[in-house]
Amino acid sequence: MRRYFGTDGVRAVANAGLSAELAFAIGLALGDQVIAQPPHRRVLIGRDSRLSGDLLEAAVGAGLMAMGVDVWALGVVPTPAVAWATRHSDACAGVMISASHNPIEDNGIKIFGADGFKLTDQQEESLEAGIDGSHPHRPVGVGVGQRREATRLRQSYVHQLSALSTARWSGSVIADCAWGAAAPLARQVLAGSGAHVRLLHGVPDGQRINVKSGSTDLESLQQAVRRRGHGTIGVAFDGDADRALAVDEMGEVVTGDHLIGMFAPWFRAKGWLEGGGVALTVLANGGLRRALAGQGVQVVETQVGDRYLLEGMRQANFALAGEPSGHLLALTFNTTGDGLLTARLLLWLLAESGQTLSALRASFTPFPHLESALPVADKQRVFADPRLTEAVAVQRAQLGQLGRVTVRPSGTEPLIRVMVEGQDVAICTRVRDTLLALIAGLNQEVVGQGG
């Protein structure tokens, strides 16, 4: 059976690897499962601002309606809005058309169950079997599905975020919406804290989504915060707003690790830190781990990706998890990473603590941490080469007991990613450059072999 789902749904170049035909087949397969779940045969669909979003939404929706399933369209919304709305309605599933932080030409299809959680591996495998199958028993006449606008559900998602707390923070915040799904909602959500909100890259634009903007490129937000001054801070979302990073009033970056370092003791004081700990990926900074240990906060480590974070949270009975990229999960509030929620919680924390963001950012001292990525012709072949495995072991020994090296293929792009961390930045740089040079050489061999 062919595998379609990766680490975060089905993702590829839109109208090529992710064709309208494939999207229609996914709609048929999902519809076949939904019609077995009476009485409510409804599926919510949202999308980010990519130009291909209309095409793929129409194709998935057509497949669903061809099986007799009603489609409720949320329009351009963040991925977490689909998760939240699915969970808080009588929908059988939710579909998000988005490639998150990927380049413009990519797109993806993420699917949520009725509980608002992304599908498990077993559920994805069951759906994949249906994608390649036939669906001859389609309804006709009044049996076909219909499309409706889900305006009320979209606004309910916004309202519950904007009304999250009565604590008021009277500062100014610049919200970098990355020309994406956060743009129509960010002002209302963040203004609910009492803040003065200014948008940057603040309209949905499918030709510029994620381009030199948002959480993948913070330079313009840092410059805007520094120009504004007067205690202004910044928050940055990616294209589908399932992650958020921040910039403090000094223009310094507040990573996902910093956010976890701030949130963990605050969550514990609020009674939200279930299980007394947090889930972190292997990319989490060693300085954060040491700081959390000093506060008595337990840590469980997982592979990179929110599905693995969620699995680790559930096994440990934790309610908080996060990645350095700003992908945070707070199960007290939502079932998936939610950048607008993260930003709203940050403003709540600022209001209650009375501290500046730069002071909160100093909750731990990060170890030197370097990340790089190289495009490769065949990421699995390069990654599986024993010479790379041996080199990683050798270079890891150079960093000492507290140092770490992670080399992995990207789950969504044709890249090999390298992370090096240690207490000496010069050694970290040397280790990273050695591994990148080896990966480049291995890739050239693959290209030369016609890989």
CB 109 within 8 Å of CB 119? no
What is the pLDDT at residue 209? 97
Helix axis angle for 151-162 and 79-87, nearest 10°, is 100
> Which pLDDT score, from 0 to 100, does residue 1 have?
60
What's the confidence (pLDDT) of residue 306? 81
> Which pLDDT does position 315 carry in this prediction?
94
Inter-CA distances, 215 with 64, 152, 210, Å: 33, 29, 8
| Per-residue pLDDT tens digits for 275-327 | 999 999 988 998 999 899 999 999 999 988 888 899 999 999 999 999 999 99
Residue 281, beta-bridge partner list: 302
Full-model pTM: 0.88
Show which residues are catalytic. 100
Cβ contacts of 22 within 8 Å, gap of 6 or more: 4, 10, 131
The first and second tokens of residue 300, run together, are 């469980």
Structural domains of the chain, with CATH:
10-156 (3.40.120.10), 166-361 (3.40.120.10), 369-448 (3.30.310.50)
Q: What is the pLDDT of residue 8?
A: 81
pLDDT at 400 (0 to 100): 81
d(CA 87, CA 377): 40
Q: Which residues of the chain have pLDDT under 50?
A: none
Rounded to whole angstroms, the Cα distance separating 70 from 92 reads: 10
Q: How far is CA 400 from CA 175, 280, 290, 294, 420, in A?
A: 40, 21, 16, 21, 12
Distance (Å) of CA 388 to CA 113, 372, 408:
39, 16, 11
The whole-angstrom separation of Cα 311 and Cα 299 is 14
Q: What is the pLDDT of residue 132?
A: 87
Q: What is the dihedral of CA 124, 125, 128, 132, to 10 degrees?
A: -170
Sheet with strand 415-421: strands edge to edge: 369-375, 415-421, 404-409
* Residues contacting residue 400 through CB under 8 Å, at least 6 positions apart: 422, 423
Per the rule left: phi > 0, alpha: psi between -120 and 50, beta: everything else, 200 is beta
Size (the chain), residues: 451
**Which pLDDT belongs to residue 231?**
87
Q: Are 239 and 205 in contact (CB under 8 A)?
A: no
Show the 3-state SS of the chain: CCCCCEECEEEEEECCCECHHHHHHHHHHHHHHHCCCCCCCEEEEEECCCCCHHHHHHHHHHHHHHCCCEEEEEEECCHHHHHHHHHCCCCCEEEEECCCCCCCCEEEEEEEECCCCECCHHHHHHHHHHHCCCCCCCCCHHHCCCEEECHHHHHHHHHHHHCCCCCCCCCEEEEECCCCCCCCCHHHHHHCCCCEEEEECCCCCCCCCCCCCHHHCCHHHHHHHHHHCCCCEEEEECCCCCCEEEECCCCCEECHHHHHHHHHHHHHHHCCCHHHEEEEECCCCHHHHHHHHHCCCEEEEECCCHHHHHHHHHHHCCCEEECCCCCEEECCCCCCCCHHHHHHHHHHHHHHHCCCHHHHHCCCCCCCEEEEEEECCCHHHHHHCHHHHHHHHHHHHHCCCCCEEEEEECCCCCEEEEEEECCCHHHHHHHHHHHHHHHHHHHHHHHHCCC
pLDDT tens-place string over residues 89-124: 999 999 999 999 899 999 999 999 999 999 988 899
Report how far apart the first and last C-alpha atoms of the chain are (Å, whole number).
23
